[in-house]
Each structure stands twice: as C-alpha cells, then as structure tokens.
Amino acid sequence: MAFQGDRVTRNRLILISLSVVLVILIIAGLALWRQRQRNQARVEQRYPVQGLKYCGSSPVTPCVVSFSQDADGNMLVSFLTDGAFYPDFYLKIKAGEEEHIYVCEKVNTFSTTVYCTGKALPVGVVLQFFIISLNGDVLLAQGNFPIIGMALAGPQDYLPPTPTKTVSPTDDLIPETTPSPSYPSYPDPGP
C-alpha cells in the first residue's frame, strides 16, 4: 500500500507542476499581448502626416522655400519650419524607384530655416519628398511635386568690386558739372 501512496503523491506533484506551468504561460501570454497592443498605433493615437509643398504667402510649415545648386553641382533644398523646436530631420526624395538621402542643417541665424544638400535632380519631374526625423525615423511630412526652378551657382571668377570714391577735403570746393542732355540724331530727310 505504500507503493500506491507514493504514486498518488507523485501524480499530485505532476498535476501541481503542470498547473503552475500553465498559469505562468497564461500570464506571460497576457503580458505579451498587452505590450503588443500598447505598441501598436491606434487611430486615435496617430497624427496625420503633414502635407509638404511650396511655401505660399501664408505658409504652412514645413514648406519648401527654394531649390538651388551649389558650385560643386549639389542640390540645396531650403525649408521653412516652425522654428528652433522643430525636430532635426533628413530629407528623402524618391525619383521613380531611386531614393536619394539629403543631409539637413538648421541655419544658425534664422531658426526657422533649414537647408538640405544632396544629389541634383531634374527640373519639372514630379518627385516624392519625405521629411523624416533623425530621432526614431518618424515621417514628419510628405508631398509630391516637381522642382519648378533652380537657382544655379555663379561662375568662380567674380568681377572685382566696384571701387568706391574717396572723399578729400577739397571735394566740396570743386563744383559739380551738370551733364548736358543728349538727343538722338536722325538722318537728314533731305529734299
């Protein structure tokens, strides 16, 4: 009979162990499910992605101010943002299947101005623009529009500055001459 008592005790231990494992699995499953639910964005938690377009007379920021090209042939995209507290970001431009990444920097003297530098793209082609925050790669704004114009860098050889007139104490003593008007000369109609 002692053999049967050991067997009952062993069955109880197995049953208790299985119950404990089952309870642990249920608790762990519920915890994972709750964490997954918290991490998924819900409609009421998401913010709509802001539209990106050219700046107008009363701009909605961020917006594109201009496109230009530097002396090295890189394209510069100038943005207007909300100011110093707007998150740091980079620009991604999709041209068909190609993606181009542009490094962006805030202008120190104007906290609302940001410019991005990258590969020069063609004018007139509709491109996809994405402003993406550096912190967490969150999409901040997006828009589809063409580059309608690009300011090009000037030549490397600049004209010398215009000399300025030096003033001497005797300049006030010299009378200014008034230029006489010139009239166009017409051919003599002749007789």
pLDDT at 162: 45
| 175 has pLDDT over 80 | no
pLDDT band (50, 70, 90) for residue 157: very low
Question: Which amino acid is it at 141?
Answer: A
CB 115 within 8 A of CB 104: yes
Nearest-angstrom CA–CA distance, 87 and 13: 59
- Among the residues of 40-62, which ranges form H helices? none
Alpha helices in 69-147 (DSSP H): none
Separation CA 77–CA 154 (nearest Å): 17
Cβ 145 vs Cβ 53: under 8 Å = yes
What residue ranges do the domains of the chain occupy?
7-40, 50-152
Q: Is pLDDT of 154 > 60?
A: no
Which tens digit of pLDDT belongs to each residue from 36-75? 766 554 444 456 788 999 998 888 889 999 999 988 889 9
Read off the pLDDT of each residue in 72-89 and give the average, rounded to a whole number. Answer: 90
pTM of the model as a whole: 0.56
Residue 183's Cβ-count burial label (10 Å; 0-12, 13-18, 19+) is exposed
Q: What 3-state class would DSSP assign to 174?
A: coil
What mean pLDDT is predicted for residues 116-122? 93
The pLDDT assigned to 130 comes to: 97
Report domain 50-152's class: mainly beta
Closest CA relative to residue 63, chosen from 54, 50, 73, 74: 54
CB 62 within 8 A of CB 82: yes
Split at pLDDT 50, 70, 90, the class of 178 is low
For the CA atoms of the chain, what is the radius of gyration? 37
Q: How far is CA 167 from CA 137, 171, 174, in A?
A: 60, 6, 12
